[in-house]
Amino acid sequence: MSRALQKYLDRVMIYANRNEKEAAQIRAELEDHLLKKIDDLRTQGLSREDAIYQAIEDHGNPRTVGYGLRKRFPLLDVRTHGTARGFIAVGPKAIGIIAIGGVAGGVFSYGGISFGFMSLGLLSLGLIYSIGAFSLAPLGIAFGAIALGIMAMGLLSFGVTAIGVLAISLICDPFYISDCMRTISWFTPETAPHFLLQIKSIPSVMGWTWFPFYISCIVLLTAKLILSRKEYRRIKQADPSLVE
Amino acid sequence: MVRLRKQTLDGNVETLLLAILEAGPSYGYAIAKELNQRSQGILQLGEGTIYPVLHRLEEKKLISAKWRLAENGRQRKYYRLTARGRKALLMNRQQWQMLAVVMRRVLNSTKKLSPKPRLKGATI
């Protein structure tokens, strides 16, 4: 096989970055394609060199082909070029999950300061995207799950309890509902079951749930920067001309 | 010649490859050649870019792959449509046919909008 062909395949495989077994299979498949193409071009009358050049040209940019062959949806997109494309592939879904989670979190946390935190959270996400854009799907799913849990707890504490308290109040004395609620409320320390008191305290600390979110963003961003650097070094070591 | 934009093509290459494999098992180079012939050169895709799509289809179990010995003595990876892939192709084809009809009807229509109805007794 010609050196030009070898070099082309080497470059594709550098960008594909698959394990040894997978890389060997992908390489064999691409090699078969290129050799078959060269055979065809030669039967059309092209010289060997021209046929090789043409086959490589028609096969496409090694970076495009290689990145396409990289495993999909890694936790972090560490490609050294065209990083935004990885984000666009999963972005709308991830943004949707995070936005719904954020809105749900805000609604069930008495509004106020938590909405401010939510806006700051979305703003920081925007900043992170503009810096490097990595896959946020796992983070989004995790945050969506947290929000769903909080929504369920919110419904339990404000929905079911409210109906129960209202029903008891009506039975006690329909004309003194507020007084009745104060004395029989499931939330008052004297009458409330312990688990309901726990639930009641959750919304007041909802604003703090953004802090783990910020921390996870910072951790992911740091990891992204470290891995991007590592990827850059790996490519440079394998073929310095690729990063020049 | 007008070229198809990447955005227009995104997500549709999978359907095109499924359609080619409907005729029977085939391998990368033959699929790329067939795609080029059927599209009469309009697509102009890098031949290597069909492999990520083929591998994705394989992951989704819409096609299956097997290595076999080719006529030149080299190992070659052959792809074939699975029952799931056939079903997906049928659905995509129906969608595309409907969309094509709608696009043709709307884009080729030169009918002018009817003028604004005048109110009785109104003067301009």
pLDDT above 90 covers a percentage of chain A that reads 22
Q: Which among B47, B51, B59 has CB closest to A69? A: B51
Which residues on chain B are in Cβ contact (under 8 Å) with A61? 46
Q: How many residues does chain A have?
A: 244
Q: Judging by DSSP bridges, how do beta strands B75-81 and B63-69 pair with one another? A: antiparallel
Residue of chain A whose alpha carbon sits nearest to that of B71: A36
pTM of the model: 0.60
DSSP state of B15: H
Write the pLDDT tens digit of every residue in B29-86: 999 999 988 988 787 788 998 999 999 999 999 999 999 998 878 889 999 999 999 9
Cα angle vertex B62, ends B61, B64, to 5°? 65
Contact A29 B28 (CB under 8 A): yes
Q: How much is the pLDDT for A2? A: 86
Residue of chain A whose alpha carbon sits nearest to that of B78: A29
Contact B52 A68 (CB under 8 A): yes
Tell me if B63 sits within 8 A of A79, measured CB to CB.
Answer: no
- The B-side interface with A (CB below 8 A) comprises 27-29, 32, 45-49, 51-53, 55-56, 59, 70, 72, 74-77
B89 CB-near residues (< 8 Å, 6+ apart): B15, B18, B19, B22, B81
Q: How far apart (Å, rounded) are the C-alpha atoms in residues B37 and B33? A: 6
Alpha-carbon distances of A70 from A6, A11, A133, B34, rounded to whole Å: 19, 13, 17, 25
Looking at per-residue pLDDT, the higher value among B118 and A74 belongs to B118
Contact B51 A65 (CB under 8 A): yes
Contact A37 B29 (CB under 8 A): yes
Write the pLDDT tens digit of every residue in A205-234: 555 555 556 666 666 667 667 777 787 888
CB contact, 8 Å: A63 with chain B?
no
Q: How much is the pLDDT for A74? A: 47
DSSP string computed for B31-78: HHHHHHHHTTTSS---GGGHHHHHHHHHHTTSEEEEEEE-TTS-EEEE
Tokens coding A7: 């070099």
Contact B32 A30 (CB under 8 A): no
pLDDT at A195 over 80: no
With bands split at pLDDT 50, 70 and 90, how would you rate the model's confidence at A201?
low
CB contact, 8 Å: A35 with chain B?
yes
Residue of chain B whose alpha carbon sits nearest to that of A26: B51
Q: Mean pLDDT lowest for which of A32-36, A107-111, A152-156?
A: A107-111
Give me the total of CB pairs closer than 8 Å, taking one residue from chain A and one from chain B: 61
pLDDT above 70 covers a percentage of chain A that reads 36
**Please, which contacts does A65-68 make with residues 24 or more away whose CB atoms are closer than 8 Å?**
A65/A12, A65/A15, A65/A16, A65/A30, A65/B46, A65/B48, A65/B49, A65/B51, A65/B52, A66/A11, A66/A12, A66/A13, A66/A14, A66/A15, A66/A16, A66/A17, A67/A15, A67/A16, A68/B48, A68/B49, A68/B51, A68/B52, A68/B53
Q: How far is A122 from chain B (nearest CA, A)?
A: 27
Contact A60 B48 (CB under 8 A): yes
- Classify the complex by whether its ipTM is higher than 0.90, answering yes or no: no
CB contact, 8 Å: A36 with chain B?
yes
Q: Mean pLDDT lowest for which of A121-125, A214-218, B16-20?
A: A121-125
Contact B48 A29 (CB under 8 A): no
Cα angle vertex A213, ends A207, A215, to 5°? 115
Cα angle vertex A65, ends A87, B15, to 5°? 80
Q: Which among A29, A58, A68 has CB closest to B47? A: A58
Helices (H), A44-193: 48-59, 62-69, 83-107, 113-131, 137-154, 161-172, 177-184
